Amino acid sequence: MNGRRGRRDPSMGYELTDETPVYVISVAAQLSGLHPQTLRQYDRLGLVSPGRTAGRGRRYSAQDIELLRTVQQLSQDEGINLAGIKRIIELEHQVAALQARVAELSSAVDGAAVAMQQREAQVHASYRRDLVPYQDMHQTSALVVWRPRPKRSPE
């Protein structure tokens, strides 16, 4: 339902996508296998909302045609009423929007992680190693014994 496959028409100078409203109601009805009055009813109910021309004529996209077929399949084959179908469509749109948002946020997190790693590497590279003397403690075998000094008596 949510494809953006495009077809460029070089003679027209624009790109046709699955979302481009190009089909009049009679053609959309033939392509979907539904009666034009059914398409009008689906539009009134908000199930499938086609684009409109300046004169308010309906123009259906390939995506709209696919949605009309889905509505018909859910209604006829699955026995779901139109209110239920409308809710299913709304939820599918919400899921798609949330998936897009998750992808956006994942990309932002990945970018922030890379930036943090780069900044961390810069901080580590800026350390002044000449200020900290290095002694290898494994090479020494000296033993240090501590003995307390005897206490002096008060005079």
Residue pLDDT, tens place only, 12-51: 567 888 888 889 999 999 999 999 999 999 999 999 999 9
Instruction: State the Cα–Cα distance between residues 55 and 35, nearest whole angstrom.
Output: 22
Distance between terminal CA atoms of the chain? 101
**In sequence order, what E strands does 10-129 have?**
14-17, 51-52, 58-59
DSSP code at position 49: -
Confirm if 14 and 47 have CB atoms less than 8 A apart. no
Q: Which of 78, 31, 28 is nearest to 49 (CA)?
A: 28
Percentage of the chain lying above the pLDDT 90 cut:
60
For 106, the token pair is 């994942």
Tokens of 129: 């190693």
pLDDT for the residue numbered 43: 94
CA of 128: how far to CAs of 40, 116, 123, 149, in Å?
A: 75, 21, 10, 40
Residue scoring higher pLDDT (76 or 134): 76
- Specify the pTM: 0.61
